[in-house]
Amino acid sequence: MYRYDQFDHQITAERVAQFRDQVRRRLSGELAEDEFRILRLQNGLYMQIHAYMMRIAVPYGMLSADQMRMFAHIARKYDRGYGHFTTRQNIQFNWLKLQDAPDILADLATVEMHANQTSGNCIRNTTSDEFAGVARDEIIDPRPYAEILRQWSTFHPEFGFLPRKFKFSITGATTDRAAIAVNDVGLQAVKNGQGEVGFRVLVGGGLGRTPFIGTEIASFIPWQHILTYAESIVRVYNEYGRRDNLYKARIKILVNAIGIDEFRRQVEEDWKFTKDGPCTVNQAELDRVAACFTAPAYEKLADVALPSDNKAFSNWVARNVKPRKVAGYASVVLSLKNAGIAPGDATEAQMDAVADLADKYSFGELRITHMQNLVLADVKQADLFALWEAAKASGLATPNIGLLTDIICCPGGDYCTLANARSITLAKAIDERFDDLDYLHDIGDIDLNISGCINACGHHHVGHIGILGVDKSGEEWYQITIGGNKGSPANIGKVIGRSFSFAQIPEVISRLLQVYVAKRDEGERFIDTLRRVGPDPFKEFVYATPVPEEAKLQMPDYELLAQGTPYDTPLYSPRF
């Protein structure tokens, strides 16, 4: 993985010092909250319902065992013993004090990490394929380019105050596991007729209130020109993106308003001044960065037959182990989707355990997936059984990767000030309703996504089943979409009809699954059946008879929810 040189260390240290001084000025009252807000956001610090939340960058989802141990340390020392892995392959800590934030950044810097630009209207963390470097369908390893983009976008002086946040995603494989079509800019590696590497560039994808699939702005930008081309895209957006309406400020609205041809014309008009200029990436820089992403020291091994007499192990292998291009090795997905636990949450003990597993079995490296799970990418097949037993002991071996209970979920109304409805609590209710493992394996691959509001952090638009929290006169309701898909090809789901109460949702999901089971052909996944028969049979069955509320699911006490947990520390939370 990428290792900092003296310049990366220097820039990171100077950033910590800068933020330390900004926090000092906030605490002394020199900076008002409305002046400080924009500064803390660019350091990943939010004010949530109960406390400050910090989102720490995990560039393109890769981290070392020592970096994971640092997360455990932060959870122990500054938080309540756990953290939350996000759909953008980052981690969030939810119970922090403002006073501690500079120390947390300083601790992170010791392991070459930061929280730069993980929030705010700037260029965010670039996401990528969680199987980058090991995927069988890979054309090139996208990580060196993702790192080059990270450095270019870090503290870019022109793009610190864009109309809205700006997200890049990059993939080097033929199957899109990085959801590039729903990012502001999506980059897909391609080779031209001469075998030269370049990128197909999509622009204007995104979810939120107005979901769009990205449109192709260029079919082939040679890799050397990727920074100058990206810079022209962001420059045109900075000038012309709407700033009068928060909900119309993303680049997708601009591209849609003026049309892709006009947008492309403006980008190319600007690009002609910088193309072939000094910001052209040279071979030396690509080589320097790429040298950090060489393959680990694989042993020469043959594929091995795995024990087949243990059903629980076999279930886990079937769902959580992925074949790799190197013989004798496999990739393992450690599930962070366990009944009763918020999707993506891990305790400090689990973080330490995972770090040890990475050291012992996978060359000391880990990846975070956009599905909010963890990956050990290079495990010897011969070690799988021992790894499974160790993972099981830490509660990380739930055999549900890609299944219904592998839910993508935002923090929702339990934590987030933006949410209309609870997400985590709903995920738990769904988990409890569908706890029969054989049934889940029979249903097979399905993406269930929950967002607590229209900002769509749970990516509900691209779930095969999407759940969106909506507000109806102060009460939480949920709207259901079906037919979304996150990539290859990406699709936006369609709303099935009027919304449901919290306690109705498990039954609604059950009905959707019943239609699938009745209509499916041999080997068809939920999404395949849905595409073949269309949404109508699903809609009709869901609304055919009144949907009962699940008795044990109580409506929340809204007053209590709004109060949060009181603290007497000044500036600890917006509510106190």
Q: Which is nearer to another protein, 14 or 137 (CB)?
A: 14
Residue 244 CB, nearest approach to another protein (Å): 10
Strands (E), 204-283: 215-222
Residue 349 CB, nearest approach to another protein (Å): 37
The first and second tokens of residue 451, run together, are 């967002």
Q: Which residues bind another protein (CB under 8 A)?
A: 5-7, 10-11, 14-15, 17-18, 22, 35, 38-39, 121, 151-152, 154-162, 227, 235, 238-239, 243, 273, 278-279, 281-282, 284-285, 288
Residue 375 CB, nearest approach to another protein (Å): 28
List beta partners, residue 468.
Answer: 451, 479
Kindly report the backbone phi and psi dihedral angles of residue 332, in degrees, each rounded to the nearest multiple of 5, phi listed first.
Answer: -120, 130
φ/ψ bin of 29: left (φ > 0), alpha (ψ from -120 to 50), beta (otherwise): left
- CA pair distance 166, 178, nearest whole angstrom: 16
Q: Which is nearer to another protein, 155 or 567 (CB)?
A: 155
Q: Which is nearer to another protein, 93 or 159 (CB)?
A: 159
Q: Which is nearer to another protein, 155 or 541 (CB)?
A: 155
- CA pair distance 201, 188, nearest whole angstrom: 7
- CA pair distance 474, 468, nearest whole angstrom: 15
Q: Kindly tell me the burial class for residue 395, based on how many C-beta atoms sit within 10 Å of its own C-beta (0-12, 13-18, 19 or more).
A: middle
- CA pair distance 514, 523, nearest whole angstrom: 16
Residue 102 CB, nearest approach to another protein (Å): 14
Q: Exposure pattern of 505-544 as b/e (b: 16+ CB <10 Å)?
A: bbbbbebbbebbeeebeeebbbbebbeebebeebbeebee
Residue 69 CB, nearest approach to another protein (Å): 26
Q: Which is nearer to another protein, 156 or 531 (CB)?
A: 156
Q: Which is nearer to another protein, 41 or 401 (CB)?
A: 41
Residue 262 CB, nearest approach to another protein (Å): 16
Q: Which is nearer to another protein, 110 or 282 (CB)?
A: 282
Instruction: For Cα atoms 491, 492, 494, give the angle at the middle one, nearest 5 degrees.
Output: 125
Residue 239 CB, nearest approach to another protein (Å): 5
Kindly report the backbone phi and psi dihedral angles of residue 542, in degrees, each rounded to the nearest multiple of 5, phi listed first.
Answer: -60, -40
Residue 22 CB, nearest approach to another protein (Å): 6
Q: Which is nearer to another protein, 7 or 544 (CB)?
A: 7
- CA pair distance 400, 445, nearest whole angstrom: 9
* Residue whose C-alpha is closest to residue 332's, from 394, 294, 385, 404: 385
